[in-house]
Structure 1
Amino acid sequence: MTDMLGVAMKPAGKSRQLTTFNLEKRSKTIVLPPGRKVTIGEVRGAGYIGRIWLTFPGWFWQHWHTTAAIDPTMLKSLILRIYWDGSATPAVECPMGDFFGAGQCEFNSFTSKYVGTSSGGFYTHWPMPYAKGFRFEVENRHPRNGTDIFVNANYQELDAMPKGAGYFCTQYRTGRRKPGEEALIVDTAGSGQFVGMMLHMQGELLHYLSFLEAPEYVYVDDDWDKPRFTGTGLEDYFSGGWYFRDGEFAGPLHGVPLKDPLRSMVTMYRFHEADAVAFDRRFKLAFVNPWEVDRLKPYWYSSVAYYYGNTPTPPQPPLPPHEEVMKLYRTRDTDHISIP
């Protein structure tokens, strides 16, 4: 009954907000100089984050600094990190743009249940429980440009971390894939559940979308030599079909915020609720194209996997150098109508 009533039920604990607004100085933002890591805020005690909203200038406009540099690659230059329970290792570590669905360095407003971009803002509603506290950090890896950031993070203070809840975690990956190579999304150990991903893809050739033929291969616990289950195609995993024939859309649990067939660019997301994939010891998901390699062409991808784990210090792949992260970036400079 409690779950059915939802927002009609008063939440336990005290409601609070972590914000960049300084009441004494009446300053709304925190400055992010190039090449610097900045702690946005730190909270001690048990609880959970229910919402994070943020935005920053410098990617397609500057607010009151009309002559300041503008560079859309800021979307991949700012690194989001969240640390749980005093850990020295982040459970969340990825470029801002990739986490929020703008990993192609373009901002398309879309509203899903858990992650979205809405008219200049970036938000997430992933529940993020913790036992001893959290720290929110942003690094600016842009080689020249600084920016500033607005943040509001709503959290609930509790006496203890909710029983049975996992720690929110991400894994970020990016790179070039040659014909026949898998696109690894997540490979982690421990117990928990996989709850979705944001995936950005670009073909090296124009007007090429055959990378969407790759189904998911899902490996769980003892099913490691052979996937426990597979899909029928990459766009099928994202609940689309026929290379997303009708173009961009945004649903609560799946969508395509960006599709440019001419430039071979697609951004996709899917979130799992009743279909979350549980694992007890280890979990891996990759996309593998079954076509013969002579029919395939190279492509680039970047992805953020979202999952819950049983430790505040989950295994993290090394964050690639800024130059490697930026190899995915392609500017669209032509309006067009195209059939995939």
Structure 2
Amino acid sequence: MWKKALIILLAAGLCSGVSAQIREGLELYKVNTPIESRSVSFENPTGEPGAGGKAVGETGPGRKGAPFKYIEPGEEVVLFDVQASGTIRHIWMTGDWAKENRKDLDNILRSTLIVAYWDGQEYPSIACPLGDFMGAAHATPTAYESAVHTIGEMEALNFWLPMPFTRSAKIVLKNESDKRFRLFYQIDYTINDQHDADIGRMHVNFRRENPTTQRADFEILPKRQGKGRFIGAVIGVRTLHPGWWGEGEIKIYMDGDQEYPTICGTGSEDWVGLSFGIQETTFQYHGCNLNFKSDSTIMAYDYPNEKEKEMQTEYISMYRWHIPDPIYWKEECRITMQQIGCCYYEREDDWSAATFWYESVPSAPLTPLPSVEARTTGLELLHKR
């Protein structure tokens, strides 16, 4: 009898997994559908049928005539502008930010912004430095794979979260640097998707505090109201003091929480699925994709010993995706991370966060972005590696 019960439970689990895949749009064998496939790039900026590859290249019409575009200092380029119901399925980009090519473009992935508008809302639901949006804090891509991002050895950037829209979608790239760079890109999407009016749209907010303030927890997600689902974040840490920085706990306040949250973690590295310090190791839903210690040293205040001490600055890029373990809220949500060192004391460091969540529109404006200078300062030692 117990064997029969076990078989039933296993079968139910497998069916549940298959059903979850179908709900997520992974029903690979379905061909009778109103959904149509499209793609935009500089070779087909409108995505219209039969309109790709028309540019004239060195070898003639339709022969690689517009694979890339130079993005000038201060230029804004519309990458995607579609009037329909649909879903963005994949974004790929590469450019002159690859280490072998970039020369003086070290900060270009922090200086350049990706901005997205859904369904006619006048202000954006996504406003984030390009590198952080594509999975690399500190404007420093490293090769890795996660459920949300994949980055190649030559720093090709891929983004995989679906981004639905019911009437229109617009994505703009803004070069806020004083440098010119090449951009190659492709956005793969579908149209005629049958979305409910209140479906969650992708929202991405970027924050940086340099430095953070003792006992004032760093806000990963400033307070949002209405229904939503927290997907996760790409976190950047630059250490400003000696010693271990990551004892702080994540706090997820939701639906009426006041002083204490509903969800509370045990440490910064614990939240990204690691332990006993941070290690450069990557997985589908959690990990650390950059753990760099500068060769040079500086003098900084050592809190436990109450004196100045020589230290090497550390740069960490880490991530956590709540996809198999969802975090929903019904009325409101706010997410913070404490700034605590080992063992135990309050400290200040340089923290950034690109935070991803779904929320229906109309939605409240995002928090203001830091200036170019505020986004890029402090990365000099990292780029000398």
TM-score when scaled to structure 2?
0.78
Q: Separation in 1 of the partners of 2:97 and 2:21? A: 43
Q: Deviations over 1:173-214 (max 9, x none)?
A: 001213322111002222111011100001113x5332x111
Q: Separation in 2 of the partners of 1:157 and 1:199? A: 33
Q: Separation in 1 of the partners of 2:93 and 2:152? A: 11
Q: Deviations over 1:10-39 (max 9, x none)?
A: 364001111122522211123321112221
Match of residue 31 from structure 1 = 70
Kept after mapping to 1: 8 A contact 2:239/2:314: yes
**Cα gap change, 1:254 to 1:113, in 2 (>3 Å):** same
The CA deviation at 1:75 is 1.2
Is 2:178 the partner of 1:158?
A: no
Kept after mapping to 1: 8 A contact 2:243/2:341: no
Kept after mapping to 2: 8 A contact 1:250/1:256: yes
The CA deviation at 1:315 is 2.8
The CA deviation at 1:95 is 0.3
Residue aligned with 1:104, SS:
helix
Match of residue 289 from structure 2 = 257
Q: Separation in 2 of the partners of 1:139 and 1:199? A: 22
Match of 1:115 among 149, 159, 173: 149
Size of the aligned set, in residue pairs, is 325
Q: Separation in 2 of the partners of 1:317 and 1:259? A: 28
Kept after mapping to 2: 8 A contact 1:80/1:96: yes
**Cα gap change, 1:293 to 1:3, in 2 (>3 Å):** closer
Match of residue 225 from structure 2 = 189
**Cα gap change, 1:103 to 1:159, in 2 (>3 Å):** closer
The answer for unaligned runs of 5 or more in structure 2 is 1-17, 45-52, 56-64, 294-311
The CA deviation at 1:331 is 2.3
The answer for unaligned runs of 5 or more in structure 1 is 63-67, 336-340
The CA deviation at 1:290 is 5.4
Match of residue 21 from structure 1 = 43
TM-score when scaled to structure 1?
0.88
Q: Separation in 2 of the partners of 1:33 and 1:312? A: 33
* Structure whose alpha-carbon radius of gyration is higher: 2
What letter matches 1:310 in structure 2? S
Kept after mapping to 2: 8 A contact 1:78/1:138: yes
Residue aligned with 2:221, SS:
strand
Q: Separation in 1 of the partners of 2:136 and 2:28? A: 34
Kept after mapping to 2: 8 A contact 1:200/1:301: yes
The CA deviation at 1:165 is 3.1
Higher relative contact order (CA 8 A, sep 6+): 1
Q: Separation in 1 of the partners of 2:290 and 2:281? A: 8
Residue aligned with 1:273, SS:
coil
Q: Separation in 2 of the partners of 1:249 and 1:124? A: 19
The CA deviation at 1:140 is 0.5
**Cα gap change, 1:103 to 1:88, in 2 (>3 Å):** same
The CA deviation at 1:263 is 2.7
The CA deviation at 1:147 is 1.4
Match of residue 271 from structure 1 = 321
1:1-340 residue pairs with structure 2 within 5 A?
A: 3-4=20-21, 6-10=26-30, 12=33, 13-22=35-44, 23-25=53-55, 26-58=65-97, 60-62=99-101, 70-119=104-153, 120-142=155-177, 144-158=178-192, 160-162=194-196, 165-175=199-209, 176-187=211-222, 188-205=224-241, 207-210=242-245, 212-244=246-278, 247-261=279-293, 262-289=312-339, 295-332=345-382
Q: Separation in 1 of the partners of 2:170 and 2:21? A: 32
Percent identity (aligned): 21
Kept after mapping to 1: 8 A contact 2:86/2:165: yes
